[in-house]
Amino acid sequence: MDHRPVMRALSGLLLVLFVAMTSSTVVSVALPQIVGSLRGSQSQYTWVVTATLLASTASTPIWGRLADLFSKKLLLQIAIGMFVVSSLACGFAQNTGQLIAFRAVQGLGMGALQTLVQVIIAAMISPRERGRYNGYLGGVMAVATVGGPLLGGAIADVSWLGWRWCFFIAVPFTLIAMVMLARTLHLTEVRRPDVRIDYVGAVLIAAGVGLLLLWVTFVGGHFDWISWQTGVMAGGSVVLLGAAVAVEARVAQPVVPLHVVKRRDPALAILASLAVGMAMFGGAVFLGQYFQIGRGHSPTEAGLLTIPMMLGVLISSTVSGRMVSRNGVVKPYIVVGAVILTLGFLGLSTIDHETSPAIVSLGMFAVGVGVGMSMQNLVLVVQNTVPLSELGAASGAITFFRSLGGTVGVSVLGAVLANRVATDIAGGLARMGVDSGDEAASGTTLDLAGMPPAVVEVVRAAYGDGTGHVFLISACIAVIGVIATLFLTPVRLRDSVDLAPAADEGAGARKETVGGTTAG
C-alpha cells in the first residue's frame, strides 16, 4: 500500500489507540484521590489497576483469534461500545468495589482496542515498513501518556469537575473515533465457515491467573504463606493453568497458539515481553502514588513530574522505529532498550521521600527510553515469523503475555508495597504513641485529608521510602528480559505482508481491502 491510503486508514486507528491509552493514564495520577475519596485501602488501590489489566490480559488472545475469523471493523465497533458504557459506569461508581468491577469491564474494551489496532496495521504493512509506522504508534502512545496524567491531574484539581470526569472525558473522544473509523476504515470481509472459539481455554486462563493474583494479594497479610488457604489458591491456580495448557494443545483453534509460542524467537520475545510488562506496569503504576502521597504533590504536579518518562518513550520509539525500517534489523534496539530499562529501574530503586527530583527524573527518562525501544519491536519479532492467517493469534499471544506480566507485576509489587508501608507506618505510629488500630489516625486508608498532620507525615515517609523497594524488584525482573533478548536470532525483517500469500489464500483465509487497496 502507498503511504497516503495507509495514513488514511491509520487516522481512525491511531485515535482509537489514543483513547484507550489516555483512559488509563488519565486515571493513573488521580487514582490516589479517587481511592481516598471512596475510602479505599492500599490493596484496593492495587486492584483498581489489577482488575483492568487482568480483564484485558484474559481477553486479549480471544480478540486476537476473533480478528483472524471475523470482521475486524465490527470487532472494533463492539469494543468501542463496551468501552463507552464501562467508562460511564466507572464515573458513577459509589465505592471501590463497584469501581473495581466496572474497571474490569473497561479492561475488556481496552484489551480489544489495543490488540485490534496492531492486527489491522500488521495486515496492511510489511514488518520492515511497519517500523516507520510504529514510530507513529509510539508518538501517539507518548502523547497519550504525557497528556493523560496532565489532563487527569487538572480534572481532579478542579472542584467543579472532580475525579469522576477522569472517566467521563473518554466518552466524547471515543465517539469521535467511531465516526472517523466509519469514514476511513473500509474492510471487505468474507466469513470463514470453520469458526471455532476456544472459550474453555480462555475461561481456564482467566480463572487460573485471577486465583493466583488473589493469593499474591492476600498472602502474608490475611493468612500465612504455609496455610490451607495458600494450598487451595496457589494449588488451584496451578491446576487451572495446567488444564488450560492441555486444552490449548488439543483444540483446533486455541486462544494461545502453542505452535507459535514453542518457536525459538517468538518464545524469547514473549519471555522478554513478560519481563518488560511486569517491570514497566508494576513499577510505573506507583509513580503517581509516590509523587502525591510520598512527596505531597497535587495531581496536576504529579502529572507534570512524569513527563520525563513519557518523553523517553516518544523519542526512543520514534527514532528506533525509523532505524528499524531503514536497515531491517531489530535485535540491537531491543537489547539496548532492555539494558537501559534495567538501569533506569536501578536508578529509581535508590529514591526515598527526600530524593532530589533531578535523580527521579533521570531514572524515569531511562525507563521511558527502554520501553520505547523494546516493547513494539518485540511485537515485530513475533509478527515476522507467522503468516497473515495467524497474525491475529500471534499478536494476541505476545500482547497477552506482556499484559500478564503487567498484571502479575502490579499485583506482586502492590502487595510488597502494602506490606512494607504497613510495617513502616506501624513503627512510626508506635514511636509517636498513636494506636495503630484507629483507622482514621493510623493511615490504613489513603484518605490523607482525614488524618492528623503528624500521622500524615508518617504516611508520606512510609510511601516515599517504600517505593524504592518496588523499583528494585522491577530492576531484577527486567534483567530476565535482557537475558532473553540476547538469545534472539539476528534476522532481517521481511518486506512482504505475508510469508506465503498464495498458500494463505489457498487455505481459505480472507482477503481484506483497506481504503480500496488489497492487504494480504
The three-state secondary structure class of 496 is: coil
Same domain, 264 and 245: no
Q: What is the pLDDT of residues 452-466, one digit of tens each?
A: 777 778 888 888 888
Q: How confident is the model at residue 186 (pLDDT cuts 50, 70, 90)?
A: low
Structural domain that includes position 244: 199-250
What is the pLDDT at residue 132? Answer: 67
Same domain, 399 and 276: yes
CATH classification of the domain holding 338: 1.20.1250.20
Main-chain dihedrals φ then ψ at residue 188, nearest 5 degrees: -95, 115
Region 439-446: mean pLDDT is: 50
For residue 190, pLDDT over 60 is answered with no
Region 327-337: mean pLDDT is: 87
Same domain, 498 and 425: yes
Same domain, 243 and 378: no
Structural domain count, the chain = 2
What is the pLDDT at residue 441? Answer: 46
The three-state secondary structure class of 513 is: strand
Q: How confident is the model at residue 57 (pLDDT cuts 50, 70, 90)?
A: confident
Region 111-130: mean pLDDT is: 74
Whether 250 and 378 have beta carbons less than 8 Å apart is answered as no
Q: What is the mean pLDDT of the chain?
A: 77
For residue 511, pLDDT over 60 is answered with no
- Angstrom CA distances, 71 to 67, 105, 167, 273, 455, stand at 7, 22, 28, 28, 56
What is the pLDDT at residue 63? Answer: 80
Same domain, 15 and 163: yes
Same domain, 132 and 278: yes
Q: How confident is the model at residue 52 (pLDDT cuts 50, 70, 90)?
A: confident
Same domain, 439 and 360: yes
| pLDDT > 90 fraction of the chain, expressed in percent and rounded | 8
Choice between 132 and 329, residue whose per-residue pLDDT is larger: 329
Same domain, 336 and 418: yes
Choice between 106 and 4, residue whose per-residue pLDDT is larger: 106
Q: What is the pLDDT of residues 99-119, one digit of tens each?
A: 988 988 988 888 888 778 877
Cβ neighbours of residue 119 closer than 8 Å, sequence gap 6 or more: 64, 67, 72, 391, 392, 395, 396
What is the pLDDT at residue 422? Answer: 80
For residue 468, pLDDT over 70 is answered with yes
- Tell me the one-letter amino acid at 324: V
**Whole-angstrom Cα distance, residue 190 to residue 203?**
28
Whether 455 and 429 have beta carbons less than 8 Å apart is answered as yes
| pLDDT > 70 fraction of the chain, expressed in percent and rounded | 80
Same domain, 321 and 180: yes
Domain end (from 250, 266, 281): 250
Q: What is the pLDDT of residues 270-295, one digit of tens each?
A: 888 888 777 667 666 778 778 888 88
Same domain, 189 and 112: yes
Q: What is the pTM of this model?
A: 0.71
Same domain, 217 and 98: no
Same domain, 512 and 401: yes
Q: What is the pLDDT of residues 76-104, one digit of tens each?
A: 888 888 888 998 998 898 888 889 889 88
What is the pLDDT at residue 446? Answer: 59
- Top mean pLDDT of 61-65, 101-105, 116-120, 220-224 is at 101-105
